[in-house]
Amino acid sequence: MTQPFALGWIGTGIMGLPMAGHLLDAGWPLTVYTRTKAKAAPLIAKGAHWADSPRAVAESSEVVFSMLGYPADVEEVMLGRDGALHGLAADGVLCDMTTSDPALAERLFDMASQKGCHALDAPVTGGETGARTAKLAFFVGGSEVAYQRLQPCFKAMGTNMAFFGGPGCGQKAKLANQTAVAGIMFSLCESLLFVQEAGLDADHWLELVAAAGAAGGAPMNTRGRRILKKDFAPGFYVKHFVKDLGLCLQECRRMGLVLPGITVAEQVYRSMQVQGYGQQGTQSLISWLAALSSTAWRGGKS
């Protein structure tokens, strides 16, 4: 196999669109399919080929990436009647980067193996900013040979990657990351709301804590500052976080693991979705929390 090899891409949302763009920019030939063709226009303008189905994408690709919303989408796009697996030639690779069910990743791997193909589960972290700036991190599981083969692609889209083991291990590592993110969102939103209600200067407080506190570092600096600006754009959708936390709890049940923190977090984010926060960023938790006390988040001065 020579580089650049032919790539396929399925899914052009806030993550998929910039990620595929980086692969095009790096010189790979790329065939794209997405549910709403108009959303692929920026890629087609950059030289991507359009295909009318996931199967058609796979027929002209050695590697097919997918970046979708939900496990059901992955199942449909990869294994459905017009799914990519049916179009893939032997030795081809299916690489799903959706945060999805580890059990589905195992099934994809097994079905790809039966066709002499390879599968990777490679969900990412870094959000929309990471996708735009090619600074994502990849949690990878599945075929280690395929992982090595796809290194140049991952490097075009991100800065960090690690292989965690067989099929589903990338998903499990990502779900552990989402478990960590849940606690951090509560940390940020409850502390900032406390600051506001105590009548303190939130900009001032964030500056001190981000720089020096036991709670400091990157999340306080980046997401904390978004919250101060009342910037609730996704970043990362509440509706997708509800899906991720549901997957976390499902995996906990399979493992016999009890985690009270994410159990509360899943219920809270589910309430947010029901109340209409689904299309907002996860940081809008602060508005939901404020409403519990019949108050509102007023933001910082900046």
Select 33 or 237, whichever has its Cβ closest to its own copies: 237
User: Per CB under 8 A, does 185 bind its own copies?
Assistant: yes
Residue choice 25, 52, 110, 190 for contact with its own copies (CB under 8 A)? 190
Among 214, 276, 301, 302, binds its own copies (CB under 8 A): 214
- Annotate each residue in 52-91 with x if it binds its own copies (CB under 8 A) or - if it does not, as one string: ----------------------------------------
Catalytic: which of 172, 174, 239, 243?
Answer: 174
Task: Kindly list the distances between the CA atom of residue 201 and the CA atoms of 48, 97, 157, 211, in Å, as whole numbers in the listed order.
Answer: 49, 40, 38, 16
Choice from 42, 72, 259, 270 touching its own copies (CB under 8 A): 259
Shorter beta-carbon distance to its own copies: residue 41 or 137: 137
Residues 112-171 that bind its own copies (CB under 8 A): 125-127, 130, 135-137, 139, 158-162, 164-165, 169
- Does 183 help bind its own copies (rule: CB under 8 A)? yes
**CA torsion angle 193 213 221 268 (round to 10):** -40
| 236 binds its own copies, rule: CB under 8 A | yes
Q: Which is nearer to its own copies, 59 or 121 (CB)?
A: 121
d(CA 42, CA 68): 18
Q: Which is nearer to its own copies, 87 or 170 (CB)?
A: 170
CA-closest candidate to residue 109, choices 151, 55, 146, 138: 146
**Which contiguous run of DSSP H or E holds residue 18?**
helix 16-25
Task: State which amino acid sits at residue 290.
Answer: A
Question: What one-character DSSP code corresponds to residue 275?
Answer: I
CB of 31 to its own copies, least distance (A): 29
- Among 93, 149, 154, smallest CA distance to 118 is for 93
C-alpha angle 154-235-44 in degrees, rounded to nearest 5: 55
274 binding its own copies? (CB under 8 A): no
Q: To the nearest whole angstrom, how small is the minimum distance from the Cβ of residue 99 to its own copies?
A: 12
Note if 172 is an active site residue: no
Region for residue 50 given its phi and psi (left: phi exceeds 0; alpha: psi -120 to 50; beta: otherwise): beta
Positions marked catalytic? 174
